[in-house]
Chain A
Amino acid sequence: MNPKKDIAPSDLTPREVFESRRDFIKKAGVGLIASTALLLNCPISAATPKNTNLSSRKLKAISTAYGKGEKLTSYEDVTSYNNFYEFGSDKSEPAINAKLFKTQPWTLTVEGEVRKSKTIAMEDILKLAPLEERIYRMRCVEGWSMVIPWVGLPLSELIKWAEPTGNAKYVEFISLEDKQQMPGQNIPLIDWPYTEGLRMDEAMNPLTILAVGLYGEVLPNQNGAPLRLVVPWKYGFKGAKSIVSIRFTEKQPVSSWMKISPKEYGFYANVNPNVEHPRWSQSTERRIGSGLFSSRIKTQMFNGYADQVGHMYSGLDLKRNF
């Protein structure tokens, strides 16, 4: 089973271009023809970008079949509504407080159950594998969801480079701790730094990526720049942001949210409409950007990625291992 149906490599379409493409599609009213063209990645003449100057924020990435046909959440919404407590606990705060956050230079350390602890620079991470665009649904534990066009590389590529030993059963992700730059860390809401974890097979799953961008551009600071985890079948909080270290362990790591409230947040945190959370509805969700008068939508098992990830949990009691 290979869920990855790659389309011929090409430059990732910049946001303005495909937004104008959407306009074009709507206006021309030839949705079928146009979407076929898009699917085959044919250039649509009307959508040729006026401005071909690519700033340094643009990223080249391979287009993939993931999330084709999903209506994207607007760039504005994706970058203004963020849970990133390092920059404030209100969702509007990260966009303001992370403006001056320095993401260059950046290095990532791999440690724990690896052949040899080592450090890799951000530039070299980008060379581990070609960048891909992955359009994923993101379901927050708070009952809302988005569709985000991430740019990143499979986490498995980094893990191969890290050379974990046979004892490595879990992977722990550690975010940056820097009280000077991250004002939210002056408040002890979390036992800083933020940590998250995955089982080895989850980390190696082709869906799991390290994102370095979204909407064809370098990751905005408030979205976890320069490097964050994206695990689309799990609740959003699993996606550790601004990662500085990856630690391979034999024992299941205890994540930040598990420490705060083990009854509310489990290690797995798979999106599951059948396991209720004490605060928020998990059977339905509200899609961000759907407007004031739209209905909630049904939350899908594994956030709709059951075909790709369900096999990893056969025999596991998901009600107990939430």
Chain B
Amino acid sequence: MRAFSLKSISLDGYLTNKLFVFSIAILPFLRLFYLALNDKLTAHPIEFIEHSTGFWSLTILLVLLLLTPIRQIFKLNKQIRLKRMLGLFVFFYAFLHVLTYLWLDYDFNYDEIAKDVIKHPRILVGFIAFILLIPLAATSNNASIKRLGASWLKLHSLVYLVAILAVTHFWMLVKRDIREPLIFAMVLFLLLAVRVYFRFLAKQGRPS
């Protein structure tokens, strides 16, 4: 996680907000520790950790995607500057999710993992989503933003694809009760629809 810099202290309470959001976003991680120490990770702890980290990665991703529409709808001029931290949390939980699968579940047995990925489309979809997240996390620093310029935005629009893949991955896991992934899919659809709408408005308003 990026260290807090003194520069970011400002009168608008930015640092306070950041600390607050950080404290909330780290809770699912601390909860896993608490449950592990108290032997409360259910009968199938590995599955529990996989589901929990996957759920929170996706949830934080949707919260992140909600920030821009909020700004647009409420016509806030101020940039919401928590995106980078939330984005890194998305990656953090996705990383734990994948690590749990590779290490705890499959003991880094690459033969078995390869078989699993090839035979089960949901694993493949999840893997693609994670791999696409890596360049986004790697270029989340200021230097990269400066260096990449306009192409940074282009690169980071991959986040929409990641979100679609991640929801699909979740949906494909569920045997029968699709209510939870359906909620995720509907929220994601709304968030994407709002973006399309604002893009359309922007084009309309632009003098030809």
A residues in contact (CB < 8 Å) with B: 73, 76-77, 80-81, 85, 89, 91-92, 142, 144, 187, 189-190, 260, 276, 278-281, 283-284, 286, 288-289, 292-293, 295-296
Among the listed A187, A280, A284, which residue makes an inter-chain contact with B177, where contact means beta carbons less than 8 Å apart? A187
A142 to B119, CA, bound (A): 14
Q: Is the CB of A77 within 8 A of B43?
A: yes
B115 close to A260 (CB less than 8 A): no
Q: Would you call B173 and A279 a contact (CB within 8 A)?
A: yes
B176 and chain A: residue at smallest CB distance: A189
Classify the interface of chain B: helix, strand, loop or mixed: helix
Q: Are A89 and B176 in contact (CB under 8 A)?
A: yes
Residues of B within 8 A of A293 (CB): 104
| A263→B167 CA distance, assembly (Å) | 23
Asked if residues A89 and B112 are in contact (CB atoms below 8 Å), the reply is: no
What are some 29 contacts across the A-B interface (CB < 8 A)?
A: A73-B43, A80-B43, A91-B42, A142-B175, A144-B44, A189-B177, A190-B176, A260-B176, A276-B119, A278-B121, A279-B122, A279-B172, A279-B173, A279-B175, A281-B115, A281-B116, A281-B119, A283-B115, A284-B112, A286-B47, A286-B105, A288-B44, A289-B43, A292-B36, A295-B107, A296-B105, A296-B106, A296-B107, A296-B109
Question: Interface range on chain B: under 10, 10 to 19, 20 to 34, or 35 or more?
Answer: 20 to 34
Whole-angstrom distance between the Cβ of A11 and the nearest chain B Cβ: 28
**Residues of B close to A187: CB separation below 8 A:** 177
Q: How far, in Å, is B172 (CB) from chain A's closest CB?
A: 7
Asked if B28 CB lies within 8 Å of chain A CBs, one says no
Closest B residue to A295 by CB, please name it: B107
User: A142 — which chain B residues lie within 8 A by C-beta?
Assistant: 175
Residues on A with C-beta less than 8 A from B15 are none
The answer on a CB contact under 8 Å between A278 and B120 is yes
Closest to A189 in B: B176
Nearest Cβ in chain B — how far from A198, in angstroms? 22
A73 to B, closest residue via Cβ: B43
Not counting A85-B176, A276-B120, A296-B109, a sample of 19 additional A-B residue pairs whose C-beta atoms are within 8 angstroms of each other reads: A76-B43, A80-B43, A81-B43, A91-B44, A92-B42, A144-B44, A187-B177, A190-B176, A260-B176, A278-B121, A279-B172, A281-B112, A281-B116, A281-B119, A286-B46, A292-B36, A292-B45, A292-B104, A295-B107
How close is A277's CB to chain B, nearest CB, in angstroms? 8
Q: Give which listed residue, B42, B109, B176, B177, contacts A80 with CB less than 8 A.
A: B42
Name the CB-closest residue of B to A280.
B120
**Chain A residue nearest to B122 in the complex (CB):** A279
Q: How far is the CA of A296 from the CA of B113 in the complex (A)?
A: 12
Interface string of B44-68 (1 = CB under 8 A from A): 1111000000000000000000000
Residues from chain A with a CB closer than 8 A to the CB of B121 are 278
Least distance between B45 CB and chain A CB atoms (Å): 6
Which residues on A sit within 8 Å (CB–CB) of B36? 292
The 0/1 profile, CB within 8 Å of A marked 1, for residues 97-136 of chain B is: 0000000111101001001100111100000000000000
Residues of B within 8 A of A76 (CB): 43
Question: In the complex, A278 Cα to B36 Cα: how many Å?
Answer: 31
> Please, how many angstroms separate the alpha-carbon atoms of A300 and B27 in the complex?
40
Bound-complex Cα distance A171 to B106 (A): 39
CA distance A288 to B36 in the complex (A): 16
**How near does chain B come to A283, taking the closest CB pair, in angstroms?**
7
A296 touches B112 (CB 8 A): yes
Q: CB-CB < 8 A to B173: which residues of A?
A: 279
Residues of chain A with a CB closer than 8 A to B109's CB = 295-296
Residue of B nearest to A82 (CB): B43
Name B120's contact: one of A81, A279, A288, A292 (CB within 8 Å): A279
Per the bound structure, the CA–CA distance linking A77 and B173 in Å amounts to: 22
A119–B120 alpha-carbon span in the complex (Å): 45
Q: How far is the CB of A310 from chain B (nearest CB, A)?
A: 25
Taking CB atoms, residues of chain B closer than 8 Å to A77 are 43
On whether the beta carbons of A288 and B119 are closer than 8 Å, the reply is no
Query: Could you tell me which residues of chain B, from 62 to 99, have a CB within 8 Å of some CB in chain A?
Result: none
For B42, list chain A residues within 8 Å (CB). 80-81, 91-92
Chain B stretch 17-53: residues in CB contact (< 8 A) with chain A: 36, 41-47
Whose C-beta in chain B lies nearest to the C-beta of A141? B175
Complex Cα spacing A63 to B112, Å: 38
Cα-based distance from A278 to B119 in the complex (angstroms):
7
Which one of B46, B122, B177 contacts A292 once the chains associate, using CB atoms below 8 Å?
B46
Q: Shortest 6 CB-CB distances between A and B: which pairs?
A: A81-B43, A89-B177, A77-B43, A295-B107, A189-B176, A288-B43
Bound-state Cα–Cα, A76 to B40, Å: 11
Q: How far is B174's CA from A260's CA once the two chains are assembled, in angstroms?
A: 13
CB distance from B13 to the nearest CB of A (A): 39
In angstroms, Cα B43 to Cα A142, docked, is 14
Q: Tell me the complex Cα distance, A280–B123, Å.
A: 10
Residues of B within 8 A of A91 (CB): 42-44
A289 to B109, CA, bound (A): 21
Residue among A85, A189, A292 with max Cβ neighbours from chain B (10 Å): A292
